[in-house]
Every structure is written in structure tokens, then in C-alpha cells.
Structure 1
Amino acid sequence: MVTAYQKDLKSKRSPLNKIKLYQIDAFTDKVFGGNPAAVCVLEQWLPENKMQQIAAENNLAETAFVVKQGDTYEIRWFTPTVEVDLCGHATLASAYVLFKYYQHPTPNIILFSPRSGRLTVEKQDDALTLDFPTDTYEAVTVPEVLVKAFGKAPLEAYKGKTDYLLLFGSQQEVEGFNPDLSLVATVGGRGVIVSAPGTEVDFVSRFFAPQAGINEDPVTGSAHTTLTPIWSGKLGKTILTAQQLSARKGDLTCQYLGERVKITGQAVTYLTGEIEV
């Protein structure tokens, strides 16, 4: 029997929207590797502050929100603290979700980002290939604060649209860095990439972005829009193998096409669930 108190309590409850949430490990073929991203496929856009709150609650490097618009999908990406211009691993994860759980009918998905324009993802067997715009960058004098943060001056330094890129001589150097993140956070932009030739792949990297709420990102697909053209020029090849040397590690194959970069990797599901907001 429902009491008057229960009826009154029910009447005071706020209606809840239930949103399907997928957590996908990107740029890996096994769970607990690569970079985890949350993906929410929406019927219509939520208020921006609500998406930011969801991303903060998820507390992953990025949460992607996707809305179908005709034959394409709009996509936006949020870290726990800010919206970002471009995110590779969360785009890969979103395409994986659309192919696996929403039965996207063709091997190509077209996405549109209000901040980065047209993006595509192609599926071939278990591999997903991102087609992203190549970053614009220039050689710069490395800020002294970054020399202090990493304890060593790089051989070369570049500044892209959002990130600094520091080049070093060996994979061992990149593996050994334990930077002062409080100093890294002062240089502005999104983050700092460190990179060197690899011992088993063409190049390796790590990515630090405390200024965007991510101390070290496990695998940063978008950073490879800067890394790929630079290493392509240095190594004299257009197809390159890459590994990001975080604790989780991630494997990528990159192709330099001038104004575009193709970035290929795999993805696996960690969880599917439902959030109430």
C-alpha cells in the first residue's frame, strides 16, 4: 500500500534523463591498455555546463558527446575541466561505439566538430583509421620554464596550435622524464609533447597537460597530427609506426598526407552503462 508520504515524496522528485554511456579503451587491442574514453550518444545536445559536469564526474582524459545529424555526426570533447578543440582517442572510441552498438551501415563515418571541422573514421576489420587535419606549427625557442620542468633542454622545440613539442635524442630519455607539472602548467595552451626516435617503432612520445586537467595522457591521437609531419620529414617516409610511452601504452600507425594525417589503431569495450542526469 502506497502511503501519503510516499506519494508526496514521489511528486517532489525531479525527472531524470537516462543517457547510455560507454567506456572504451582506445589505441589498444586489450582492456586496461591504451587510453580510456567515455562516449555518450545523444538525441540532442545537452547544455554545455551539463556536459562539462558529466566529463568531470567521469574523470577520464576525455568524454565525447555525439549527436546524429542526417548522415553525419556532430562531436564535442571535454576533459574533466575544459572543452578541447580536437581529441583523437575519444573520436576513435566514438566511432567504435557507433559501429558496434549503433550498427552504422557503411565502413566510413563522417563527423563534424565545431572547432576542428570535418573528420572521418574508416573501419577495416578491427582497425579504425582517423582522418584529421595536419597541425600547423613552427620552430620556437624552448621556454626556459620547460627546460627547468624537464631538467634538460630538447634538441628542437616546436609550437603547434595548442601544444608545445620537444624533441630529444633517445627513447630512454623520454621514458625517464618525471617533469615538474606545476611548471608545465604555466606555459599555457593545452599541453606539452615530448618525443624521440623509437627502438622498436619509428618514434615514441609522451604527453603532459596539467593545464587541461590531465597530468599525463595515456595515448594522445591529436598530438600525432603534429608528430607525424615532423617525423615524416626527418625519417623520409610517409607511413610511420608510433608508440606512446605512458604506463598503459598505446600503439598507432600514422600516415602523412600533406594537409591531412591518418592515424590508425584499435579499440575495446571496458564497460557499458547508464547515467542519470
Structure 2
Amino acid sequence: MRIRIVDAFTDRPFAGNPAGVLLLDSFPDDEWLQNVAAEVNLSETAFAHPLAAGGAADWALRWFTPATEVDMCGHATLATAHILNTTGAADGTVRFAARCGILTATAQRDGAITLDFPTAPLTPEPEPEGLADALGAKVLSVRDTGPHIGDLLVELTDEKAVRSLSPDFAALVAHSGRGIIATAPAADPGRGYDYVSRCFFPRVGIDEDPVTGSAHTALAPFWSARLGRDSLTGLQASARSGLVKTTLRGDRTLLTGSAVTVIDGELQV
């Protein structure tokens, strides 16, 4: 059984966010899928199989962390679309049926891929007691991001504060359904990005996710409202780092990035 590892939201190997991708004939039982994701041990492994022609979607798609299945994942969707387009299994736009609804991925001539995802609804929340201590930084504001991603979007004072975070991951577990998105404006927008973020998901087995596409469905409306532009570029300032271009279109958010296949092998199961 063929398995690929793809670095997503980057145009070079060993950066961005790595995802496992398996194309199947159908989904085996959930225990098998979870065991494979645990063995791959990346932030997400994507499993996809083709659907009958004529329906609302072309492929069924699921995502698993090493610990659990998740409702939405951007980088592993990008990685799957990259594999489908580079292997000839798809051409142009691919429609995925996922737990969060129908998602599309459109390959562009330069090799970049644009994902069409639901925009996260943002609801202001009081700062939870203990959140600033768990993050180790002053919190300016907090937003709930709705049921699909289930994170808290936490605004910090500046880019330096985001980059220097060293959270207490055990303490962060208590503060959201999935995790924490920490963000601030770019210190110098002339460097090619408008805002920075880092994402922490210890509750689902990922202390820090390198580049989180789904988080940008919340970051896009937050920063578009602040900066007055629908099209922005976000830098996720993890150790691996990656850029996500976002375009806000009402209840949908377009996420654009590149991907690189770094491993192509056989799963011996």
C-alpha cells in the first residue's frame, strides 16, 4: 500500500507542515486508520478514496492525528490534492467530502493549490482564567472559532510575543476544544506577510502544529477586519515555518499554498 509524506504550505522540502497521505479503495475500520496515523506520527495523516461519478464530491477524505480524528485539516487536504494532481489521479479542481462538508482544492499553473473552506465564525470571549499564565504572555483579546475547528483565537501584543512563546502545554489543555491560535500583526509588513501565528493543540496530541490551514479560516476574517483587506498573507512562525495566502469571501475562505512530496514508499501492513 503506497504512502506519501508531503510538506504543505511550502515550496521546499523540510519546511511547512508534513502530512501523511494514503489513497485507498475504501476506508478500513477506524482502529486501523488511527493505528496508521499513530505510526506515521505526524500532526495529521489524510486518508482518501474515490467516490462514484456524478455526486457532490469526487473523493471522500478523513484526517487523523496520532491520537484522534479531527473535523477539519487544511495542510493535509492541500497535501492530498497535491498527490492527486501530481500523480494524474485528478486534474484541476478536486471536490472532497469531509466531516466539515464539501471542500474543494484547485491546482494552479504555478503548482500552488487553493483550498475553499468554510470561514470560522468568530465570537468574542472573556479571557479564560489562567490562559495568559499557560501561554506565558499578555492576552489582548480572545475569540471562539466555532464548532468546526474548536479553537480559541488569542490576540497577543506583537510579533515578538508570538515568536517567543513557550507555553505550558499541560495547562493549555483546559482552555479549548482543540487548541490555541496565538496571533499578532506583522512587525514589518514589507517582509511579505501581514500577520503571524502559532498553533498549539496538546489536547489532540500535537504540542505545536507547524502550519495550520484550518486556523487560517479564523485568522483570515480576524485580520481582514483589522487591516481592511480581503486578501492577506499569514506567516505561521513555527520552527519549520510556512506561508498561507488567504482570501475572505464571506462564509468561505480561500487558502493558497504550495506543497512538496518528500517521501514516497510502501506501507507494509
Whether TM exceeds 0.5 here: the answer is yes
SS of the counterpart of 2:246? Answer: strand
Which structure's CA Rg is the greater one?
A: 1
Alignment of 1:204-219 (within 5 A): 204-219=196-211
Amino acid at match of 2:95: I
Match of 2:119 among 118, 134, 137: 134
Distance in 1 (CA, whole Å) between partners of 2:177 and 2:49 is 27
Q: Which residue of 1 aligns with 2:39?
A: 57
Task: Please give the TM-score of this superposition, normalised by the length of structure 2.
Answer: 0.94
Alignment of 1:178-257 (within 5 A): 178-198=166-186, 199=188, 200=191, 201-257=193-249
Distance in 2 (CA, whole Å) between partners of 1:123 and 1:107 is 5
Match of 2:18 among 11, 36, 39: 36
Amino acid at match of 1:63: T
Structure 1: 5+ residue stretches without partners: 1-18
Distance in 2 (CA, whole Å) between partners of 1:132 and 1:70 is 22
SS of the counterpart of 2:83? Answer: helix
Contact kept, 8 Å, 2:152 with 2:176, in 1: the verdict is no
C-alpha RMSD of matched pairs (Å): 0.9
Amino acid at match of 2:96: L
Amino acid at match of 1:156: S
Q: Which residue of 1 aligns with 2:92?
A: 107
Q: Does 1:153 align with 2:162?
A: no
Amino acid at match of 2:118: P
Q: Give the deviation of 1:70 after TM superposition.
A: 2.3
Structure 2: 5+ residue stretches without partners: none
Distance in 2 (CA, whole Å) between partners of 1:35 and 1:178 is 20
Q: Give the deviation of 1:170 after TM superposition.
A: 1.1
Q: Does 1:163 align with 2:151?
A: yes
Deviations 1:199-252 (A, max 9, x none): 231111000000010000000000000110010001000000111000000011
Distance in 2 (CA, whole Å) between partners of 1:112 and 1:50 is 20
Amino acid at match of 2:263: L
Work out the number of aligned pairs and report it. Answer: 257
Amino acid at match of 1:136: P
Q: Does 1:23 align with 2:5?
A: yes
| Identical amino acids, percent of aligned pairs | 42
Distance in 1 (CA, whole Å) between partners of 2:46 and 2:89 is 18
Q: Does 1:116 align with 2:100?
A: yes
Contact kept, 8 Å, 2:118 with 2:252, in 1: the verdict is yes
Q: Which residue of 1 aligns with 2:77?
A: 91
Q: Which residue of 2 aligns with 1:173?
A: 161
Moved over 4 A (4+): none
Distance in 1 (CA, whole Å) between partners of 2:196 and 2:248 is 16
Amino acid at match of 1:170: D
Deviations 1:86-125 (A, max 9, x none): 0000000000000012441x31111110x21000001112
Amino acid at match of 1:184: L
Deviations 1:53-84 (A, max 9, x none): 00000000000000100240010000000000
Amino acid at match of 1:146: L
Alignment of 1:257-272 (within 5 A): 257-272=249-264
SS of the counterpart of 1:23? Answer: strand
Amino acid at match of 2:166: N
Amino acid at match of 2:251: E
Q: Give the deviation of 1:152 after TM superposition.
A: 2.7
Amino acid at match of 2:236: Q
Distance in 1 (CA, whole Å) between partners of 2:80 and 2:185 is 30
Distance in 2 (CA, whole Å) between partners of 1:153 and 1:242 is 21
Distance in 2 (CA, whole Å) between partners of 1:49 and 1:145 is 35
SS of the counterpart of 1:276? Answer: coil
SS of the counterpart of 1:272? Answer: strand
Q: Does 1:45 align with 2:5?
A: no
Distance in 1 (CA, whole Å) between partners of 2:50 and 2:237 is 34
Contact kept, 8 Å, 2:137 with 2:156, in 1: the verdict is no
